[in-house]
Amino acid sequence: MTNFYADLGLKTDNTNREIFINSPRNFLIEQAVRKGHGSLTEDGSLVVLTGKHTGRSAGDKYVVKSPSTEKTIWWENSLNEMTYENFEKLKAKVVNYLNQDGKDLFITERSVGAVAEHNIGVRTITDHPSHALFSKHLFRPKMRDFKSSDFTILHAPELEIDPAEFKTKTGTVIATCFDTNTTIIVGTLYAGEIKKSMFCIMNYVLPEKDVLPMHAGACRMENEDVSIFFGLSGTGKTTLSTDEGTYLIGDDEHGLSDEGVFNFEGGCYAKTYKLSKETEPGIFDASNRFGALLENVVLDKKTGKVDFFDKSIAENGRSSYPLRFIEGLEKTSKGKVPNNIFFLTADAFGVLPPIAKLTKEQAMFYFVLGYTSKLAGTEIGVKEPQATFSPCFGAPFMLRHPSEYAKLLGVYLDRYDIDVWLVNTGWTGGAYGVGQRFPLHVTREIIRTIQANKLNKELVETDPIFGLRIPQEVGTVSHTLLNPQKSWDKEADYQQKAMELATSFHKQMKSFGDFYSENIGGAPTYGA
């Protein structure tokens, strides 16, 4: 064992346990089954359960407050403060827990980011072989020797702590200290916390290098042109970034520098509810082979078959696997500076157009707005569509103020003349329950037309409420679909609903103070 782990306090003299570093996937799978942490499907996928935590614990995220973070962290973003003293006390407890006699440890030495200049090394130390497997999937192979600027994840998912002892809300804690480059995860078996903790770190570190971190999918065309797709859950980010005839750079987390786009991850973490060979063949095939890791799916242990349509354990079932399990992949995980950026929104009010060209100011406004809709029935008490906002299309993972990311986006838009488009993958002809959702083939035709440079950018109309420039000819898409007010039975009803939504945009953005007032030129024309 290297000096680093000894200096951390990990003991090597426990005769009843072993420490495994950078073990192969097949060994980690074997260990998970042997320890009773998981079972194999008929195809060899490893199935595990994560107990009461089947998703992220959004209210249990902590950052150590220090002179280096006090004024740089966006504390209002549901982030909890932790003192350095409490963090170090928790760290000592975790190390002591991991040093228990008879407790095997599984360590992976990986990295995040496909570009060496912006890559961050990450050591994951856990007593669960399945989580070591997850880190091998989602993090990339190590690109270089570790440096002091790299990070360590101390992962003790079954450790129970007393919240009063560490001044935490619950016994679940995901805490990061940027002074020691350490993240601690306790009290949750949900593997996604490992991936997202490093995404948050990249989001915090990269802007200091003038690199824009993005919660977005990316793909390249045959001619090397690159498209970026920002979007919250349910807007079509993964679907549209994996279109036929394109090469997937990545489906979730990327950086943008002067050298181009690069993927952070070494694998995918896909939702599995209603997964089928017919609808998502690539994800289905990758999830049903030896080496894949399935969380919270229903397995018939007699037949070894998985029922992806059974959500009795959790609707947020997940599959993780390495990128090499995917066909149609850009193997370098990199691409040039994008030609087009698409902001995807599922507007359940049915008033936004299916496509609109944004000015730079509008792009920065809508980027910080991060608008989509909650639908009736998706949460307790939601009885009709509600506007919801996630700045930068990924607020839970953005540790800096959204204006910092938006200004960096503006720099790249100016420097490379990137086209930015607002794409409504939601409803038309009326709100949810009255109108219909834009057919996927329509959205695909619009995006393919833009990607092929076949759109007449001069033939546009400006919407009087949102100030959006709407193309009037896009392939075979009907004029009525392109202009939402014309698809409603009563234009007065459209006007009322559109003005309500525009007003909500202004209300949301006013909370950003100076950024809002400085970028009012990008705002909807109504509701200021």
The CATH number assigned to the domain with range 3-37+57-209 reads 3.40.449.10
DSSP letter at 170?
S
- pLDDT-based confidence at residue 168 (cuts at 50, 70, 90): very high
pLDDT for residue 375: 60
- The H or E element containing residue 504 is helix 491-509
Q: Which of 60, 150, 252, 347 is catalytic?
A: 252
Region 34-62 average pLDDT: 95
Q: Which of 23, 50, 53, 56 is catalytic?
A: 56
Residue with tokens 């002179």: 67
pLDDT for residue 514: 84
Region 206-232 average pLDDT: 95
Q: Which of 2, 68, 170, 233 is catalytic?
A: 233
Q: Write out pLDDT tens, residues 286-337.
A: 999 999 999 999 999 999 999 999 999 998 899 999 999 988 899 999 999 9
- Specify whether 469 is catalytic: no
Q: What angle do CA 140, 406, 365 make, to 5 degrees?
A: 130
Q: Which of 318, 357, 401, 497 is catalytic?
A: 318
pLDDT for residue 1: 55
Strands 105-112 and 19-21: parallel
Residue ranges, comma separated, of all CATH 3.40.449.10 domains in the chain are 3-37+57-209
**Mean pLDDT, the chain, whole residue set:** 92
pLDDT surpasses 80 at 383: no
Region 376-387 average pLDDT: 56
- Specify whether 479 is catalytic: no
Pair 102, 11: CB distance under 8 Å: no
- Specify whether 320 is catalytic: no
- Specify whether 56 is catalytic: yes
pLDDT surpasses 80 at 368: yes
Contacts 24+ apart (CB under 8 A), 437-442: 438/354, 438/481, 440/236, 440/239, 442/354, 442/477, 442/481
Residue with tokens 């018939």: 300
Q: Which of 61, 137, 237, 469 is catalytic?
A: 237
pLDDT surpasses 80 at 374: no
Q: What pTM does this model have?
A: 0.92
Q: Write out pLDDT tens, residues 494-515.
A: 999 999 999 999 999 988 888 8
Q: Which of 215, 334, 469, 497 is catalytic?
A: 215
Q: Write out pLDDT tens, residues 172-205.
A: 999 999 999 999 999 999 999 999 999 999 999 9
Pair 254, 218: CB distance under 8 Å: yes
Quote the percentage of the chain above a pLDDT of 90: 81
Q: Which of 172, 238, 246, 320 is catalytic?
A: 238
HSE, side-chain direction, 13 A CA sphere, residue 33:
14
CA distance 424 to 235: 8
- pLDDT-based confidence at residue 377 (cuts at 50, 70, 90): very low
pLDDT for residue 129: 98
Q: Which of 93, 196, 400, 448 is catalytic?
A: 196
pLDDT for residue 379: 45
The region of weakest confidence among 26-35, 87-96, 132-141, 459-468 is 459-468
Q: Dihedral of the CA atoms 513, 514, 517, 522 (nearest 10)?
A: -100
pLDDT for residue 136: 97
pLDDT for residue 138: 96
pLDDT for residue 528: 63
The region of weakest confidence among 40-49, 92-101, 446-455, 514-523 is 514-523
| 3.40.50.1220, 3.90.228.20, 3.40.50.2300, 3.20.20.10: CATH of 340-522 | 3.90.228.20
The full length of the chain comes to 528
- Specify whether 252 is catalytic: yes
Reference 386, options 398, 397, 378, 394; nearest CA is 378
pLDDT surpasses 60 at 38: yes
CB neighbours of 449 closer than 8 A, spacing ≥ 6?
455, 474, 475
- Specify whether 254 is catalytic: no
- Specify whether 318 is catalytic: yes
Residue ranges, comma separated, of all CATH 3.90.228.20 domains in the chain are 340-522
* Amino acid at site 388: T
pLDDT for residue 112: 97
